[in-house]
């Protein structure tokens, strides 16, 4: 237990990705909002000093190991932490969490972990790998009660929403209800993030989602904070950190139209009052394109980029995902976003397994062709194509586990659960190797080296764009979109090269062969079922 009796230090760690991937570039510009919110709550408790170490956004002046990762032994020497918190929101980072948990446990530090990964048998797995306490569900209230119990050396059985080991016995306390009053929580304090350089600030508005997508871990009735709190977050960051770029991380912007319109109006008024133009990105449903007034309000509020989860251009896959839209309608709605003046980022899942089996025999080559055609016809500005991930607690993981299709974890571990690797036997006639190469073929065609030449061409043609053109504003908008897209796509080509190089070094192909050979061994079914989880209510 804690031996210091004056002040205590809590260190929250957002663990590093297992390897360079397509998220790495954006990760070094932002930080995860969930662990920061929990750390902020702790910093308001009396007697606690708090810091956040985001290993994916960690600058040169922080102590490092030879691998380039943060040197936690040195961090512990210069600023001794009494309690460690680990953010387990991404299953791919679990091996890193366990590595650090064992390191800190060896230095006598109390370790706590929380996040969407910790569900079902994953809770016991964490407690057997260096974690003292697992926070189940939302952590802002739970962590305060747990830390008070730890500091006062009380038994934590009365703290709701946690799990811990008592000898060989797993103790899981009563479930804590979801938070509904967010206005009572402090605004996230980005000054707690040490050694980071943040240029894109995440903003939270709504927790939960009622869409019930089979592959998604976010469930439950949407619980929004007040519109005033969202504006307060943005205003505070602009006024204290000169923040200009924001990302509203929730999937449901525009879900409640009147509240969205009110938010846009307040943001527009604020920017006019302080004389600044903000750059805001939101995640939004495709069908919001039908609401012309909402789109105009978003533009006035500073929203320039919309991220849309298309998931797939293949009708049968959309049905399997519980998506109620047709591919041809998706293209028409995308054009409405472009007409309004938004940049559109398309997010896709390749090779989604159909619920009733492959009713339509589509080869990987044909699927790639359909994706490319859709992306071209929709004229998407940027794209992201991932593979299906049977995340813990999702209906997808339960379905695939019941069919004995998920590869054993001792062959393909959690570090591969980031959407870049095949994790199960796909629908025929595709193979796992087909899936592994398909997303690189799709994005490799989109993010190409030749975009560098188009960037130069746009610069050369810039003066000519405005000769004999009466609508200067429209000309600028068209030129900027073309220049920006080619620049981003050239940057994407660089990322794709580094990503492909990282894939080759990782030896995944050999592990995939081994996983396919071991799928039908006697313990494979129970192994797959165990991490599917029985409780899907984790937030």
Residues 328/373, Cβ–Cβ less than 8 Å: no
Report residues of the chain scoring pLDDT below 70.
Answer: 1-5, 357-360, 463-476, 521-539
Sort 454 into a burial class: Cβ within 10 Å, 0-12 / 13-18 / 19+. middle
What pLDDT shows up at residue 2?
63
> For residues 448 and 494, what is the distance between their CA atoms, to the nearest angstrom?
9
> For residues 278 and 302, what is the distance between their CA atoms, to the nearest angstrom?
5
* Of residues 522, 372, 521, the one with CA closest to residue 446: 372
Q: 197-518: same fold as 8-172?
A: no
Q: Which residues contact 262 (CB under 8 A, 6 or more apart)?
A: 227
What pLDDT shows up at residue 539?
27
Report domain extents, the chain.
8-172, 197-518
Q: Which residues contact 432 (CB under 8 A, 6 or more apart)?
A: 422, 424, 425, 426, 512, 516
At CB < 8 A and 24+ separation, what contacts does 320-329 make? 320/214, 320/352, 320/353, 320/354, 320/355, 321/213, 321/214, 321/215, 321/349, 321/352, 322/211, 322/212, 322/213, 322/214, 323/213, 325/286, 325/287, 327/374
Question: DSSP letters along 107-170, please?
Answer: TT-EEEEESTT--THHHHHHHTTT-SEEE-S--HHHHHHHHHHHHTT--GGGSTTEEEEETTEE
> For residues 353 and 481, what is the distance between their CA atoms, to the nearest angstrom?
35
Strand boundaries in 196-330, DSSP class E: 200-203, 206-207, 223-224, 245-253, 279-284, 303-311
> For residues 290 and 346, what is the distance between their CA atoms, to the nearest angstrom?
18
What pLDDT shows up at residue 471?
53
> For residues 279 and 275, what is the distance between their CA atoms, to the nearest angstrom?
14
- Fold classification of 8-172 is Rossmann fold (3.40.50)
CATH number of this structure's domain 197-518, picked from the four choices 1.10.10.10, 3.80.30.20, 3.40.50.12160, 3.30.2270.10: 3.80.30.20
> For residues 341 and 299, what is the distance between their CA atoms, to the nearest angstrom?
8
> For residues 492 and 439, what is the distance between their CA atoms, to the nearest angstrom?
14
* Ramachandran angles phi, psi of 352, nearest 5°: -65, 130
> For residues 150 and 146, what is the distance between their CA atoms, to the nearest angstrom?
6
Q: Per this entry, what is the length of the chain?
A: 539
Residues 71/77, Cβ–Cβ less than 8 Å: no
What pLDDT shows up at residue 6?
76
């Amino acid at each position: 237990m804690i031996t210091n009796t004056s002040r205590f230090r809590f260190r929250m760690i957002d663990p590093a990705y297992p390897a360079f991937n397509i998220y790495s570039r954006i990760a070094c510009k932002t930080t995860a909002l969930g662990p920061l919110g929990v750390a902020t709550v702790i910093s308001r408790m009396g007697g606690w000093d708090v810091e956040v170490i985001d290993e994916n956004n960690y600058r040169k002046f922080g102590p490092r190991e030879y691998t380039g990762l943060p040197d936690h032994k040195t961090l512990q020497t210069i600023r001794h932490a009494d309690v460690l918190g680990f953010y387990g929101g991404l299953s791919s980072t679990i091996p890193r969490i366990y590595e650090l948990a064992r390191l800190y446990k060896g230095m006598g530090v109390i370790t706590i972990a929380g996040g969407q990964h910790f569900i079902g048998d994953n809770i016991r797995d964490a407690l057997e790998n260096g974690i003292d306490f697992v926070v189940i569900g939302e952590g802002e209230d739970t962590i305060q009660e747990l830390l008070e119990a730890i500091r006062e050396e009380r038994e934590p059985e009365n703290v709701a929403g946690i799990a811990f080991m008592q000898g060989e016995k797993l103790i899981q306390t009563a479930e804590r209800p979801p938070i509904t009053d967010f206005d009572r929580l402090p605004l996230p304090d980005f000054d707690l993030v040490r050694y980071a350089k943040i240029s894109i600030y995440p903003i939270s508005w709504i927790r939960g989602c009622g869409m019930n997508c089979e592959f998604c871990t976010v469930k439950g009735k949407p619980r929004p904070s007040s519109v005033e709190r969202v504006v307060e977050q943005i205003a505070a960051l602009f006024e204290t950190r000169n923040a200009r770029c924001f990302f509203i991380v929730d999937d449901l912007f525009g879900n409640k139209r009147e509240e969205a319109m009110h938010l846009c109006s307040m943001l527009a008024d604020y920017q006019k009052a302080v004389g600044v133009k903000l750059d805001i990105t939101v995640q939004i449903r495709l069908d919001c394109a039908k609401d012309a007034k909402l789109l105009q309000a978003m533009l006035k509020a500073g929203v320039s980029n919309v991220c849309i989860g298309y998931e797939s251009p293949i009708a049968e896959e959309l049905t399997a995902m519980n998506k109620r839209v047709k591919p041809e309608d998706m293209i028409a709605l995308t054009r409405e976003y472009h007409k309004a003046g938004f940049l559109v980022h398309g997010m896709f899942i390749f090779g989604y397994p159909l619920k009733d089996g492959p009713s339509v025999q589509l080869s990987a080559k044909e699927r790639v062709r359909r994706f490319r055609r859709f992306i071209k016809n929709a004229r998407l500005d940027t794209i992201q194509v991932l593979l299906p991930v049977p995340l813990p607690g999702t209906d997808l993981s339960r379905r695939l586990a019941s069919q004995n299709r998920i590869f054993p974890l001792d062959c393909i571990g959690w570090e591969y659960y980031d959407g870049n690797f095949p994790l199960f036997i796909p629908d025929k006639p595709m193979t796992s190797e087909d899936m592994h190469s398909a997303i690189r073929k799709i994005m490799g065609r989109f993010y190409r080296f030749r975009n560098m030449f188009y960037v130069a061409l746009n610069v050369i043609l810039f003066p000519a764009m405005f000769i004999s053109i009466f609508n200067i504003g429209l000309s600028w908008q068209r030129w900027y979109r073309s220049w920006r897209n080619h620049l981003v796509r050239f940057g994407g080509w660089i990322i794709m090269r580094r990503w492909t190089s990282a894939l080759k070094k990782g030896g995944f192909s050999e592990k995939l062969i081994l996983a396919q050979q071991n799928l039908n061994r006697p313990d494979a079914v129970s192994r797959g079922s165990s991490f599917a989880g029985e409780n899907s209510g984790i937030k």
